[in-house]
Structure 1
Amino acid sequence: MESSKSASDEGTETASKVEVKQDEFSYLEREFTSELFKLEINNLGIFGIGDFKKMLKSLEIDAAKVKTPHKRDCAFICLKSKEALDEAIKKLTGYVWKGKTLSVKIARPNADPYIKRKNEEQQEDSNKKVKRTVESQTVPLAHLTYDQQLEEKDKEMRKVLTAFGNNLRKLNPSFKLRKDEIPCEFEKIKPSPKIDDYRNKSEFAIGRNSNNEIVVGFRVGSYSDGSVEVGEIAKLPHIPSKVKEAVLKFQDFVRQSKFLPFNPEFNSGHFRQLMVRYSEFSKEIMLVPGMYSNNLTEDDVTELKQSLKDFYSDGEGNLVDVDSLYYQHLGKRETGEMFNPVDHLCGKTHITDVIHGLSFRVSPLAFFQVNTAGAEVLYQSIIDLSEPKENTTVLDICCGTGTIGLCFAKYCKNVVGVEIIPDAIEDAKFNAEQNKINNCKFHVGNSDDYIQSMVKEVVYGTLKKEDLDLVAILDPPRSGLHKKSISAVRSALDLKKIIYVACNPKAAERNWLDLCKPESKTYKGDPFRPKKAIAVDMFPHTSHTELVMLLER
């Protein structure tokens, strides 16, 4: 373990030393990385990443990473040891795959993106540099009136839909779309009822500002573009004042602690992030400090947890009235772990919020819309688009704590939800019971595996075919749904209507196109067609917009 003293000296030294060109590959000597054992495989021809991974698996090559450069017939794989590297070279050299003989060579590791960018910045004319601020990084539209913000976002969503229409026109000519035509009806963007202080969850970085002071706030840039600086949040309009108070008090704790902020450049230090959840309804606040624990002993972790409990129970921290306190391990995850684990330290295990008059219990890792007031508008838009009837069954894919499904419950026959986070499903079941809703069922699992069985369960449970009315709500993470999930939706022939909820509409286009492309071996069943889209401003002052799309077949 690196001592606190050496890490502290290192951080101070880094901030104060004269800028000289740094070694972009020095990280290879400081820490283990699979970039040390990297191969370039050539003469692959045209290939799919899925087929390539299957080939590696068939040869019993366990790659830590697989990278495929755009428009090149090669791939890079990173192995876990020198022995694994040598074994992979033997197996792949001269191997014939899809009629082509593969060639293999040891590849150069990637440069550290942070150091690379810092070196590039030193060569640029300093007069041309524009200093980035927390405001410009997190709330770039805050300088506009709210009407102007809505106008900008409405235009942006029209551009997204137009681009989708042009790509869909090429992919599925049977839809007979004109060039630059929005492929569905589009409603004007709906405003958020709450413009300021709306975020009920934020994840703050812990680091140092330009004066080398410890700060809990947001990063001014990203590691890959050469910035590890953290800026303060005092002037940000979307963070509630109580959350700001809690952040400042936690900042005091970090500054007093013998443990240090995490330094991504040297992979040293301990305090990495602080998640804060806040309910405007109940006024409850939950803190989840995220600690880089790989360089801490068990005794260190015990000491750190106890100091957190003491600070918020008997120390300065009790001035903030923290209702729930957790500790999160942000280190290398164990095999099979999908999320960094959390330990409850003191206070309540959950906080409570309200949407559409329903009470929702929220746990630390569960997904819950960050704008509670905006969620009311969003969920009503989803319900209106779905046009549920008395015999409608709603499939809530990526259901989180069950918020969408439970808001649907009074308008339909049944709700069946699936979510990969077990704690979120426990919350969903509790929320159904708490609100006396008995027509909702929730399952823990991967949506890839559950969609087909959920549809079959509903179909077999419906006596008359004419009584079957299925609606699927797809509310995936920002990156969208996996192709397997889209394939499962397409193959569920009894599913005729989908509501796709996109918090990142540009990224969602890939899913939309797969839902709408002509039938193939991968995507069975008739294609869906976009019918109507509604934009909802869930994130005032930022450049983000939620887009809800109705697709039917």
Structure 2
Amino acid sequence: MMAEGSNPASDATPSKEEEPDDVPQNFKNDTPEADAQAARDSEAAPDPCKYRYIKDDLFTSEIFKVEIRNLPKFTGFNDLKKFLAKHGLNPHKIKLFGRQTFAFVTFKNEEERDKAMKMVHGMQWKGQVLSVKLAKPKADPILKKRKQEEGEGVSGQPVSKRTEGGEEEDEEPLSVQIANVVTPLWNVPYEEQLRRKEQEVVGILQRLANEIGSTNKAMLPWLFAQKGKFNKMCCPLEAIRPSPTQTEYRNKCEFLISVGADGEDKTIGFRLGKYKGGSCAVVGPAETCHVSAEAKRVVSEFQNFIRTTPYSVYSPETYEGHWKQLTVRTTRTKQAMVIVFFNPQKLEEDELNALKSSMKKYFTEGKGSESAATSLYFVRDGQRKSPNPEDLPCELIAGESCIHEELLGLKFRISPHSFFQVNTGAAEVLYSAVGEWAQLDQDSTVLDVCCGTGTIGISLAKRVKKVIGIELCQEAVEDARVNAKLNGLSNVEFHCGKAEDVFPNILNAVVSPNVTAIVDPPRAGLHSKVILAIRRAEHLKRLVYVACNAKAAMANFIDLCRAPSNRVHGAPFRPVRALAVDLFPQTMHVEMLLLLERVDYDSQQQQTP
């Protein structure tokens, strides 16, 4: 039974873009606007039938797209991004083509797009005169596929579902199909899963060794010795640490609400294929091995509820309908937060109030109470101008405003938009390793960058003089401050803002002789401004980097270790220790921990510590 509660704090976008495995199953942001493949005929006027998302005024950077021609040959993504940033331009997406001599670039609004066209057109770059023109938006993949099927299908059935002889192909059961999508390693023995992930990290450290050799010649003698000792890697790699549980480990899942792959309407589950492949059908999570029994129970009850309502599921093809997404967060303390995303379309306010009242009654007094949900939120997800669902305010319908979790003997409050590692048991393994490696004492100051609800910093606070956390999401910062009080800590402070804006000033203000930074950034890594600030602050001697996508963070690793230059000031770091922790069993994703220490040029220490 749920009790009344107040509305949560104001919403904000979390600093962690939910690590790559937070919802691999949903293909999050995999919508018409999320995968900007080339539309070559940039002069043609958009066909409103093919571009319904434009007609309906939904957010999509596709309508703010330009084509940049005559780029220098082999221009890379980062090259173009840095070039545009140098001129005060902030692109939303970049897609390079044709030996990287032309690119499609999208922006978040018309003003930024027009500014780019005005500034870049005619500009010289590496001897090339650039040209810019408007580009046509990408067609809706669903409509494109439907048109193909209408032309190619036999008896109304797509060709892909038939053999050459006209017989229907045998398909695997839906439970197997969805398992292959959301947990691709479900039928691989766990020891083999760990071996594969460890080998992936070996490859990353071998690549990093080569990159350091290319960008910092002074490190070559040290690097040569390292590669000889550690299988061509730049540092030793400890044995991978497994997840304490390999199934039902996810404490957060995002489910789509759509037509089921079995034909059942109003089905809650995971998408069977990517939107860009023309798929909207979903399969329920009942037989998926990584979703908890508590979350499955919530999904089942919520599906029963929405099927009793007159409102249809939202269609990304027509932009009609209402039910869109269900997010379920659970804890080991047996609490469950339910967040439903609903497009109100043109419903009157009294209709929405009636729906919310019936939802509350169903989950507090009716059959839905069996789901044991302790927090129930309603989100109006209409014609959003922002690409992030986290930007939408959550309205508490019933229950407590937050859920609580215990980790490493500490208590943590979690709000709807706050980041919290999706595998609590494995997070304890990860944070314990961070504590081991940070080499902390009572004189230490810890800078916890992208701190979420403060888990890492709070877990280390009793061992150090001070912890300073930095986080973008206001909700998470409020949670972190509450969590510090819950655990009786007075030596912890948290700051809200973009790391690239807040971190340099905080770092410069720290006067402690023993400063350690711990960074746990989104999948894309830290902003280059943060890396440059770290390099400049030479009193910062040790850095623990927690990477949920080490390949994406490679640019950060390289910049931390590259030789000083006009752009990069301060002595470089070098990697001295690495570890893989399996936070995501049954998937290919793995968390990597990398310890980097400042090179001491004064004592000419270029040997392994």
Structure 2-normalised TM-score? 0.77
Among 503, 507, 514, the residue aligned to 2:548: 503
Look up the match of 1:9. none
Equivalent residue in structure 1 for 2:81, among 46, 49, 53: 49
Greater fraction helix:
1
Match of 1:288 in 2: 339
Q: Deviations over 1:31-58 (max 9, x none)?
A: 346645654343454663344356476x
Q: Percent identity?
A: 37
Name 2:23's counterpart in structure 1.
Answer: none
Task: Give the Å deviation of 1:483.
Answer: 1.8
Q: Determine which of 452, 476, 480 is the counterpart of 1:428.
A: 480
What is residue 40 of structure 2 aligned with on the other side?
Answer: none
Secondary structure of the structure 2 residue equivalent to 1:274: strand
1:225 correspondence with 2:270: no
Give the Å deviation of 1:411: 1.6
Q: Secondary structure at the match of 1:505?
A: coil
Q: Label 1:259 to 1:187 Cα distance change in 2 as closer, same or farther (>3 A).
A: same
Are residues 1:107 and 2:140 paired? Answer: no
CA distance in 2, matches of 1:24, 1:140: 38
Q: Which residue of 1 aligns with 2:202?
A: 158
Alignment CA distance shift 1:262-1:514 (3 Å): farther
Q: What displacement does 1:472 show? A: 0.5
User: Partner letter of residue 394 of structure 1?
Assistant: V
Q: Amino acid of the residue matched to residue 170 of structure 1?
A: S
1:210 aligns with 2:261: yes
Cα distance between partner residues in 1 of 2:120 and 2:481? 53
- Paired position in structure 2 for 1:516: 561
Provide the rounded CA distance (Å) in 1 between the counterparts of 2:360 and 2:520.
36
Say whether residues 1:255 and 2:307 are aligned partners. yes
C-alpha deviation, 1:235, in angstroms: 1.4
Aligned pairs for 1:388-427 (under 5 A) are 388-427=440-479
Opposite residue 200 of structure 1, the aligned amino acid is N
5 Å-filtered alignment, 1:368-379, equals 368-379=420-431
Deviation at 1:187, TM superposition (A): 0.4
Partner of 1:465: none
Q: Which of 275, 285, 303 in structure 1 is aligned with 2:327?
A: 275
Contact residue 471 and residue 497 of structure 1 kept, 8 A = yes
2:529 pairs with one of 475, 484, 488:
484
User: Contact conserved, 1:532 with 1:550, CA < 8 A, in 2?
Assistant: yes
Alignment deviations for residues 212-233 of structure 1 (CA, whole Å, 9 cap, x no partner) = 2122111112112332121121
Q: In structure 2, do the counterparts of structure 1 residues 35 and 471 end up closer, same or farther at CA, with 3 Å as the change threshold?
A: closer
Match for residue 455 of structure 1? 507
SS in 2 for 1:427: helix
Separation in structure 1 between the aligned mates of residue 587 and residue 62 of structure 2, nearest angstrom:
36
- Cα deviation for residue 68 of structure 1 reads 4.8
Change in 2 beyond 3 A, CA 1:105/1:534: closer
Do the aligned partners of 1:192 and 1:538 also contact (CA within 8 Å) in 2?
yes
User: Contact between 2:515 and 2:541, CA under 8 Å: does it hold in 1?
Assistant: yes
Separation of aligned partners in 2, 1:345 and 1:359: 25
State the secondary structure of the residue aligned to 1:72: coil
Residues 383 and 130 of structure 1, relative CA distance in 2, 3 Å threshold: farther
Contact 2:535–2:570 (CA under 8 A) maintained in structure 1: yes
Contact 1:399–1:417 (8 Å) recurs in 2? yes
Structure 1 residue 185 and structure 2 residue 217: aligned? no
Cα RMSD, aligned residues only: 3.2
Tell me which amino acid in the other structure corresponds to 1:407: S
For 1:429-471, what per-residue CA distance to the aligned partner results, in whole angstroms no more than 9, with x for missing partners?
1111111111111111111112122222221xx4xxxxx1111
Shift of 1:290: 1.8
In structure 2, the residue matched to 1:138 is 182
Unaligned runs of 5+ in 2: 1-45, 153-157, 164-168, 599-609
Seen in structure 2, the aligned counterparts of structure 1 residues 391 and 270 have a Cα distance that, compared at 3 Å, is: same
Aligned residues: 517
Q: Give 1:318-329 correspondences, 5 Å limit.
A: 318-329=369-380
Separation (CA, whole Å) in 2 of partners of 1:538 and 1:80: 33
Q: Which moved more, 1:181-190 or 1:258-267?
A: 258-267
CA distance in 1: counterparts of 2:109 and 2:464, whole angstroms: 55
Match of 1:170 among 207, 210, 214: 214
Query: Which residue type is aligned with residue 391 of structure 1?
Result: D
Cα distance, 1:540 vs structure 2: 1.6
Equivalent residue number for residue 548 of structure 1? 593
Per the alignment, residue 14 of structure 2 pairs with none
Could you tell me whether the CA contact under 8 Å between 1:263 and 1:269 is conserved in 2?
Answer: yes
Which residue in 2 is equivalent to 1:352? 404
Residue equivalent to 1:534: 579
Partner of 2:34: none
- The reply to whether residue 472 of structure 1 matches residue 536 of structure 2 is no
Q: Could you say what secondary structure the match of 1:507 adopts?
A: coil
State the alpha-carbon separation in 1 of the partners of residues 472 and 283 from structure 2: 34
Query: In structure 2, what is the equivalent of residue 11 of structure 1?
Result: none
Task: Give the corresponding residue for 2:5.
Answer: none
Of 196-205 and 324-333, deviating more is 324-333
TM superposition shift of 1:312: 1.2
Within 1, Cα distance between the matches of 2:197 and 2:563?
31
Which runs of no fewer than 5 residues in structure 1 stay unpaired?
1-22, 58-62, 463-467
SS at match of 1:186: coil
SS at match of 1:387: coil
Residue of structure 1 equivalent to 2:601: none
Change (3 A) 1:444 1:55: closer
Structure 1 range deviating more: 235-244 or 372-381? 235-244
Paired with 2:380 and 2:128, the residues of 1 have a C-alpha distance of 46
Residue 166 of structure 2 corresponds to none
Q: Is the 8 A contact 1:333 1:339 kept in 2?
A: no
**AA in 2 matched with 1:187:** E
Checking the alignment, whether the CA contact within 8 Å between 1:92 and 1:103 is kept in structure 2 is no
* CA–CA separation in structure 2 for the residues paired with 1:93 and 1:438: 51
163 and 107 in structure 1: CA distance in 2 versus 1, 3 angstrom threshold: same
Which secondary structure state, in structure 1, belongs to the residue aligned with residue 290 of structure 2?
coil
Distance 2:51 2:387 in 1: 26
Which is worse superposed, 394-403 or 477-486? Answer: 477-486
Greater RCO, CA 8 A, separation 6+: 2
Deviation at 1:165, TM superposition (A): 2.5
